[in-house]
Amino acid sequence: MLYPWMAPAAQNSVALREGLKIVRKVIARDAKTGLSTAQIFRLAVRESPPPTYGLALESVREKYADVMPDPAVAVTQYGRAGRRRVPPPGPPNPRHPVRSISFLKHRILPIILGERYVQRTREKRVVDQTPAEEARAVRGKRQEQQSTTPAKPPPELTVYLWKATRPPAHEPPVKVEPVTYKGDDYDFSHMKPAKRKARRARIELSFKRMELDTRRKAKRTEVRRKIEREERERLRAAGRALHEAAERAGLEAKAARRKAWEAANPKLAREAARVRAEEQKRLGLDPVSLAAAQKILKKKNRA
């Protein structure tokens, strides 16, 4: 059963998959010194999506055509107070995987940030001016040229940038060697001879116990593996015996059905036997090989 929310979810999945490829490419190529979200969006939109993206969108639309709303039909919605709701504007690039800055900021960049392909930094930079601001600046420069006041430097604002980083290398785990101690590793110089002898004997006894426990664990593991191996062999043999019994029962049932058919249709049985004998004589095969060849031909014809 299809639901209306499945269509945008499928479209978002397709767009996210292709958008990640495009944004990764843009960041690896142009984000060495840092790019803002708007700059990444402008560079990503210039990249043309692969032809498979359009085919994937078309397949999604065909699959969810019954539950997707018709864009040609205007649906008027009203709020709780009875006021008419103004529908939000659509994305600026609906046919592109990176269809809007919001989709880039909230869906694509968090995934790349989690993969540690990019890091977010804060810097002070001169803000790019829009065409209207440039026109106002030109008019201001003309007025400043007429006056003697010095020109103001362009303002610097704190901006958040995305910088490309190398993905983390998967370092092999550090193998920790087990620490083994001996009785001679201890310092007994501060003890009296009697205590030194007793402590040394106690340490030797503890090490003998540890070795005995290690051997006991190894023996227990070996016995457990042997029991599991024997159990697997037993289950495999039981399964093989069941399979052979089922095959024998199937052959016996097949032979019984053949005998019943021959008893009910003696003329057809004699004709089939004659055709089988002629085929055996022509091919020079024994009855078992002939039956195997016929079975192979039947399988090929079914395929």
| pLDDT score at 216 | 92
At 220, the pLDDT band (50, 70, 90 cuts) reads: very high
Mean pLDDT computed over 129-145: 58
Distance separating alpha carbons of residues 172 and 56, to the nearest angstrom: 39
Phi, psi of 140 (to 5 degrees): -65, -35
What DSSP state is assigned to residue 14? H
Reported for 273-282, long-range contacts at CB under 8 A and 24+ positions apart, including other chains, are none
User: Does residue 88 or residue 248 have the better pLDDT?
Assistant: 248
Q: Report d(CA 143, CA 148) in Å as an integer.
A: 9
Question: How does pLDDT run across 88-111, given as a tens digit for each residue?
Answer: 777 888 889 999 999 999 999 999
Boundaries of every domain in the chain: 6-70+92-131+141-164, 195-263, 265-303
CA–CA separation, 196 and 184 (whole Å): 12
Asked whether 34 and 162 are in contact (CB, 8 A), the reply is: yes
- Per-residue 3-state assignment (H helix, E strand, C coil) for 88-119: CCCCCCCCCCCCCHHHHHHHHHHHHHHCCCEE
Query: Which phi and psi angles does 233 have, rounded to 5°?
Result: -65, -40
Q: Using CA atoms, how far apart are residues 20 and 18, in angstroms rounded to an integer?
A: 5
Residue 239: pLDDT above 70? yes
Is residue 215's pLDDT more than 70?
yes
Tell me, what's the pLDDT at 180? 58
Of 41, 194, 30, 32, which Cα lies nearest the Cα of 107?
Answer: 41
With a cut of 90, say whether residue 75 has pLDDT above it: no
Q: What DSSP designation does 64 have?
A: T
**pLDDT (0 to 100) of residue 62:** 80
Q: Is 34 exposed, middle or buried (0-12, 13-18, 19+ CB in 10 A)?
A: buried
Q: Which two tokens stand for residue 258?
A: 């053949």
Mean pLDDT of 277-290: 68
Q: Which residues contact 14 (CB under 8 A, 6 or more apart)?
A: 53, 56, 57, 60, 97
Residue 193: is its pLDDT beyond 80? yes
pLDDT category at 262 given cuts 50, 70, 90 is: confident
Residue 270 has what pLDDT? 87
The DSSP output letter for 72 is: T
Q: Report the distance separating Cα 220 and Cα 186, nearest Å.
A: 32
Tokens matching residue 24: 């990764």
* Better-scored residue on pLDDT, 273 or 174: 273
